[in-house]
Amino acid sequence: MSDKKNIFERFGESQVWKSIFRSGVPRTRRQRMMSVLNSVFLHLHPVRLPRHAVKLKFTWCMGGLTFFLFLVLTISGILLMFYYRPTAEYAYTDIIDLREQVPLGIMREIHRWGAHAMVITTWLHMFRVFMTGSYKPPREFNWSIGVLLLVLTLLLSFTGYLLPWDQLAMWAITVGGNMARATPFVGHEGPGAALLSIGDINFINMGADAKFALLGGRFVGEAALLRFYVLHCIGLPFVVMILMAVHFWRVRKDGGISGPT
């Protein structure tokens, strides 16, 4: 018997490897537990779980896939930002360039279809949580956080819809913006808006109401493009990431994945 080790085994025992993965290749029970505990990514999970909780037919891995799609969207979104300029002059042509000039130009497809997919997986995740009754105590609050995540997911999709600056984009956002104008009290065509006035001066008018705040103007124009761009790339992802952190933390703190007692 030669005790010669192959190159992988030698590498696995080198100082470099061991400094990165402290617990070594997870072969023994102890190593397996340590590799979850020692990794900042894996330790989102507990070390041990009840048997039903790791089954695909229970969680459908739907929350996990939603999160994964969010990561895919973040990465592909960053790549898109290299090429895209949010101005009325360049936005549309940059999108065409993305398709025609950029090698392997499917980044936009990945981003758009990934966004559609994330909306669907969020709905399905919510459906799963409902059907297993996992919103019942002590998980009530995490369900509410989830609802906010759902709303933000939809808003992320909605703000992104405008950015290609084509007919589809502009008019879809116009339909949405026209609803803002009817907001009670703060939309200039909303019920009660006329109450906020002194004499002949209406405080809520075309130049100062919910629609104007949303679009940065009376119509979907360049100001709206910039607003949606900033919200889409910075504002909403920032909030979503905070809420996701709370959501994951609460899954653990509420006692891990729900199950029968």
**Footprint of ligand HEM on this chain (CB under 6 A)?**
59, 61-64, 66-67, 70, 122, 125-126, 129, 132, 134-135, 139, 142-143, 146-147, 149-150, 153, 244, 247, 251, 257-258
Question: What whole-number distance in Å separates Cα of residue 38 and Cα of residue 22?
Answer: 7
Answer with the entry of another protein, ligand HEM, none that 247 interacts with (C-beta below 5 to 8 A by kind): ligand HEM
Residue listed under structure tokens 């130009």? 105
Determine if 216 is a binding residue for another protein (CB under 8 A).
no
From the list ligand HEM, another protein, none, partner contacted by residue 251 (C-beta under 5 to 8 A by kind): ligand HEM
Stretch that binds another protein, among 6-14, 52-60, 77-85, 232-240 (CB under 8 A): 52-60
Instruction: Give the Cα separation of 257 and 255 in Å (integer).
Output: 7
Which pair of structure tokens corresponds to residue 247?
């959501």
Task: Please choose, out of 3-11, 163-171, 196-204, 236-244, the segment that lies near another protein by the rule CB under 8 A.
Answer: 163-171
Please say which residue, 139 or 188, places its beta carbon nearer to ligand HEM.
139
Please give the Cα distance from 178 to 132 (Å, whole number).
Answer: 39
d(CA 10, CA 84): 47
All residues at 6 or more sequence positions from 78 whose CB lies less than 8 Å from its CB, including other chains? none
Among residues 80, 149, 180, 233, the one that binds another protein under rule CB under 8 A: 180
* Residue 192 binding: pick among another protein, ligand HEM, none (C-beta 5-8 Å cut-off by kind): another protein
Structure tokens at 169: 């984009």
62 vs 224, beta carbon nearer ligand HEM: 62
Q: Is 215 in the site for another protein (CB under 8 A)?
A: no
66-125 residues near another protein, rule: CB under 8 A = 68-69, 72, 88, 92, 95-96, 99, 106, 108-110, 112-114, 116-117, 119-120, 123-124
Q: Is 192 in the site for another protein (CB under 8 A)?
A: yes
Q: Which residue has the tokens 């509410």?
A: 144
On whether the CB atoms of residues 30 and 82 are closer than 8 A, the answer is no
Residue 217 or 256 having the CB closest to ligand HEM: 256
DSSP 111-125: HHHHHHHHHHHHHHH
Estimate to the nearest angstrom the gap between the alpha carbon of 134 and the chain centroid.
Answer: 22
Question: What, of another protein, ligand HEM, none, does residue 5 touch, CB below 5 to 8 Å by kind?
Answer: none
Neighbours of 37 (CB within 10 A): 14
* CA distances to 66, 84, 123 from 78, in Å: 18, 10, 25
